[in-house]
Amino acid sequence: MIDPVQLTAELVRCRSVTPAEGGALLLLERVLSDAGFACTRIDRNGTPNLFARWGTRGHARSFGFNGHTDVVPVGDTAAWSADPFGGEIRDGILWGRGATDMKSGVAAFVAAAAKLVSEAPPDGAVVLTITGDEEGDATDGTTALLDWMAAEGEAMSVCLVGEPTCPERMGEMIKIGRRGSITARFTARGVQGHVAYPDRARNPVAAIVALAARLEARQLDKGSAHFDPSNLVVTAIDTGNPASNVIPAACRATVNIRFNDLHSGAGLSEWLRQEAGRVATETGVGMEVTTSVSGEAFLTPPGPLSDLVARAVAAETGLRPVLSTSGGTSDARFIRAHCPVVEFGLVGQTMHQIDERVAVAQIGQLAAIYRRILEEYFA
């Protein structure tokens, strides 16, 4: 038997700040091997990843879990009420970096899977994919695992990502999709000059401000059947100009768009370039644009998988969870091309914060939900 609370505490004690492995995957490999799982490290370009399977490779009924053991930096250690890597349990609360996002989720699905295969071995396979690169660039984490699985004939029929999904109460929300994310960086290049003689210069700051206003004024859409409206935010404007009497030669701006299924990264990239081109023509200022799409919008339509998870959540919490696509990106954006995927996990109120923490009772409750999901899936 694996105690998900104790395993969470042990994982929190692993200093696995991206990209460090910190001993977290070594711990899980040992625990899962002891539980009868075949474990394989799938490290790529220095990024640590773990694949674990119980049952037959490529089985037609294969339930997968996905999660990560890497965490964000702790910030000011002196501001914490407990050692961020202590895994301390006090008054029914487990403290530490990763306690919520998402070492508790990993511990819960490891405990649930190990209990199932030991007590009621299923006719099928249970697959666990755990990465050490979700909080970083995510270029060699879950993507590396999926690439390896494709090459080796490994597969998941469906997948549940254990990210925190509940805003305030345990059991209130399942994620069935996510909005896409695109970051655009603009560099306006003008002609430097003295502010007293603006006719001899070409001001890139004015061009960037005009472009930012133009972009923010655009209503991208009004939302779709399962998604909120897309939103665009100007996150930075910078000239690096310390002088108040000099028109600078260049100005830079950064914009991020979270977009729904009415758009694509390529389509938005083209629109951003067109808008930058129009401002360049109007102002005579050169405009360079680079875009980076970290994920496309995706949706697993409501159906058998989300119904299965919702029934288990309702049985253990008494709440009927809503199906949502809110929030930021997750590794589900990679898995959606492999198999149907949804996300369900803990209340995420303290993730990435000083004094990140989780109620011990929630960890046990989450493990029970995951166990119920597995039991019904293989029934």
pLDDT of 327:
87
For residue range 225-254, list pLDDT tens digits in order. Answer: 999 999 999 999 999 999 999 999 999 999
Mean pLDDT, the chain, rounded, equals 97
Token couple for 154: 């490994």
Task: Give the H or E element holding residue 306.
Answer: helix 304-317
pLDDT of 82:
97
- The pTM of this model reads 0.91
Token couple for 244: 């108040």
Q: Would you say how long the chain is, in residues?
A: 379
- The mean pLDDT of 84-111, rounded to a whole number, is 98
Nearest CA to 67 among 55, 49, 81, 53? 49
For residue range 11-36, list pLDDT tens digits in order. Answer: 999 999 999 999 999 999 999 999 99
Mode of pairing for the β-strands spanning 246-247 and 286-295: unpaired
Residues recognised as catalytic: 70, 134
Mode of pairing for the β-strands spanning 193-194 and 246-247: antiparallel
Distance CA 220, CA 270 (A): 14
End-to-end C-alpha distance for the chain, whole angstroms: 21
In 10 A of CB 202, how many CB atoms?
Answer: 20
pLDDT of 170:
97
CA distances from 370 to 52, 161, 190 (A): 17, 11, 58
Return the residue matching tokens 């049952």.
55
Distance CA 7, CA 104 (A): 8
pLDDT at 72 over 90: yes
Distance from CA of residue 206 to its chain's centroid? Answer: 36
Local confidence band at 328 (pLDDT 50, 70, 90 cut-offs): confident
- Residue 205's φ and ψ, nearest 5 degrees, are -65, -45
Token couple for 287: 């405009």
Domains along the chain with CATH numbers:
4-178+297-377 (3.40.630.10), 180-295 (3.30.70.360)
Residue 367 three-state SS: helix
pLDDT of 137:
87
**What's the one-letter identity of residue 239?**
T
8 Å CB contact between 275 and 214: yes
Distance CA 362, CA 280 (A): 54
pLDDT at 282 over 90: yes
- The mean pLDDT of 176-204, rounded to a whole number, is 97
Distance from CA of residue 263 to its chain's centroid? Answer: 20
Question: How does 27-55 read in b/e, with b if 16+ C-beta sit within 10 Å?
Answer: bbbebbeebebebeebebeebbbbbbbbb
DSSP for 178-224 reads E-EEEEEEEEEE-B-EETT-GGGSB-HHHHHHHHHHHHHH----S--
DSSP annotation of 290 reads E
